[in-house]
Structure 1
Amino acid sequence: MFASLRMLSRRALASQVSRVQSIAQVPLRQFSSEAAAPKSGGGGWKLAVLIGAAGGGLYYAKENGYLDDVMGKAPAAAPKSHDYDQVRKAISDLMASDKAEEYDDGSFGPILVRLAWHCSGSYDKASNTGGSNGATMRFAPESDIGANKGLDVARKLLDPLKEEFPWISYSDLWTLAGAVAIEEMGGPHINWRPGRTDQPDGKNCPPDGRLPDGAKGAQHIRDIFYRMGFNDQEIVALSGAHALGRCHRDRSGFDGPWTNSPITFSNEYFKLLLEEKWNKKKWNGPTQYEDKTSKALMMLPTDMALVWDKKFKPYVELYAKDDQKFYDDFAKAFSTLLELGVPFHEELPAKA
């Protein structure tokens, strides 16, 4: 092959050089993780390869794809690494799939939000343990605790995306999926940045008991959220995620949706807490409340605590009348939640 390559005539080489010179004028496509291309002389390196090549130089150039253009071959696809816009699109496509329409109320959104919430909400600021970094919910005992029951569904949904984008960590993928799901269901933009890494095993799984227990009251809520570093207003704002999704009898023991539109992000949760009359449900299950009007909606004891507690209630009233304030406060608190305990080593990408 070396011999045949050396046999290229000066005329043929000049012709190929000419082609490279014209192609070099076309700007190269840039990706979010790559440095910007030089504004001038972008094709010079290709020209240099051809002009200065001798012996194995042309072979090296051919094998590394530098001659693809001049040989009539389609250029190799640019690397997908760190292209978070592509991951976002894949998550959006998953949510818009026919498979999603068959799940629960017609969306994977709520369970993706729950996955992001639960993998992050195990954080303890005193010991700096738990949180989304590590994606330890892949392993027992964290995967098996009652509060995470059913989240294997969400993890399996995202496994094909992990295969498609192997460079992204599970912990980044899970949290990004939650952020995208909020936005896709009509919620605010959630500031999100990469930098989480995955643990190889379950040795660092956080202990059970760090996630909220829906059967308890105001003091329990504060114990859980204060441990993470949140205040009362942030607690109420984050509770607004109960506008989404529903409880399942075979998972939490509770049953039913919180709102009439469980796949649409809104401040309806707060309005219902204040405007509906809630009665204790008579059924063979844990204590929960149902609305007097339709008996189709439900609230948990932790939800009712937000209106029974004199310090929580003013924030419920605020968010019920001002949806923009709720969106703004939720976006900030949820972004904080997803970052608890994460040792970031890079700045927030412009399009993350």
Structure 2
Amino acid sequence: MSKPGDFDAVRKDIAAQLHRPGYDDGSAGPVFVRLAWHSSGTYDAESDTGGSNGAGMRYEAEGGDPANAGLQHGRAFLEPIKEKHPWITYSDLWTLAGVVAIKELGGPDIPWKGGRTDLVDDSKVPPRGRLPDGAQGADHLRFIFYRMGFNDQEIVALAGGHNLGRCHGDRSGFEGPWVTNPTRFSNSFFKLLLQLDWQPRKLANGMSQFVYVDPDAAEDEEPLMMLPTDMALKTDEAFAPWVKKYAEDKDLFFDHFSKAFAKLIELGIQRDEKGVVINTDNKLGGYVSAPKKSNVATGPPKPKGPLRPRL
């Protein structure tokens, strides 16, 4: 067990959990990034609710949101770390896991500070429906991200997170990876979005996405895909210039992504002049660490009927 506040020790143990033969593309990194993003992306600037503080996904009200389907695996992968470092809060652990994963998979350093507290009940869990719907377009992206306080440039930068991971038919309803190496952080997402001939395809479940089928690919090779929200990035007149800039300049993208992701995981966090978090739960004060949960992945059951698509 580490001493309370020894986040370097936690970082090392997160990095050791990334290698996952048999899970997706062999890495837990992408699901850690998605966990950090979804635990933070519920923030509403007007009401100052949601965000990473509290780790509300521990409760069915948030964890059972169809938008969070599959994240139970990421949470379970982190349970051995929680057991080894019981002092750390889930809200710190989940956000730190995303930051570590991005760096370990070749991405930029992202500023991160601890101090988040875990809620003691679900009374402050934000309502469902605050996360992006991948089947929509530019107006929807602005509605979701403006609510959190992001601008158009930051929206495009954050979309670069699609350099990692893939979609799953039994989670979002979409299927396939965005890039050829979904466990290596790069600016390939933007390059491929502009360079390839993306064609619409309706899936067996009724969902529509865009695919590129390489004519030289092997018969059983999985085609790359893009979401309708991804395609909106290159057709919207304000988003498109940033797509082009990030496709051409990896360093610029890394810099802007780092700043936007650091902002994302700090949404709703209030700190004093010394950087100490002053948010508390509704019963206790200070750094409240919730009890360890199960190492077994438990989450919302597979949806029945039409899926509500999410990123």
Unaligned runs of 5+ in 2: 277-311
- What is the root-mean-square deviation of aligned Cα atoms in Å? 1.3
The letter for the 2-side match of 1:83 is D
Q: How far has the Cα of 1:277 moved from its partner?
A: 0.6
Aligned match for 1:287, one of 191, 201, 208: 208
Aligned match for 2:18, one of 95, 112, 115: 95
**CA distances 1:280-333 after superposition (whole Å, capped 9, x unpaired):** 014313110001425710000000000111110000000000000000000000
Residues 160 and 189, structure 2, Cα contact 8 Å, conserved in 1: yes
Residues 199 and 210, structure 2, Cα contact 8 Å, conserved in 1: yes
- State how far apart, in whole Å, the 2-side matches of 1:163 and 1:344 are: 27
Q: How far has the Cα of 1:85 moved from its partner?
A: 0.5
Per the alignment, residue 238 of structure 2 pairs with 311
Q: Does 1:86 align with 2:14?
A: no
- State how far apart, in whole Å, the 1-side matches of 2:116 and 2:262 are: 14
Matched residue of 1:290: which SS? strand
Per the alignment, residue 299 of structure 1 pairs with 226
Residues 92 and 180, structure 1, Cα contact 8 Å, conserved in 2: yes
Per the alignment, residue 37 of structure 2 pairs with 117
Aligned match for 2:247, one of 292, 306, 320: 320
Alignment of 1:18-57 (within 5 A): none
- State how far apart, in whole Å, the 2-side matches of 1:159 and 1:344 are: 27
TM-score between the two structures when normalised by the length of structure 2: 0.84
TM-score between the two structures when normalised by the length of structure 1: 0.74
Alignment of 1:1-352 (within 5 A): 80-96=3-19, 100-285=20-205, 286-293=207-214, 296-345=223-272, 346-347=274-275
How many residues are paired up?
A: 268
More helix by share: 1
- State how far apart, in whole Å, the 1-side matches of 2:29 and 2:15 are: 9
Bigger relative CO (Cα 8 Å, ≥ 6 apart) = 2
Residues 213 and 224, structure 2, Cα contact 8 Å, conserved in 1: no
**CA distances 1:118-163 after superposition (whole Å, capped 9, x unpaired):** 0000000000000000001100211111110111111111112111
- State how far apart, in whole Å, the 2-side matches of 1:122 and 1:134 are: 12
Residues 195 and 342, structure 1, Cα contact 8 Å, conserved in 2: no
Report the structure number with the largest CA radius of gyration: 1
- State how far apart, in whole Å, the 2-side matches of 1:150 and 1:236 are: 24
- State how far apart, in whole Å, the 2-side matches of 1:310 and 1:114 are: 27
Stretch moving more, 294-303 or 271-280: 294-303
Unaligned runs of 5+ in 1: 1-76
Matched residue of 1:203: which SS? helix
The letter for the 1-side match of 2:263 is T
After TM superposition, where is structure 1 displaced by more than 4 Å over at least 4 residues in a row?
none
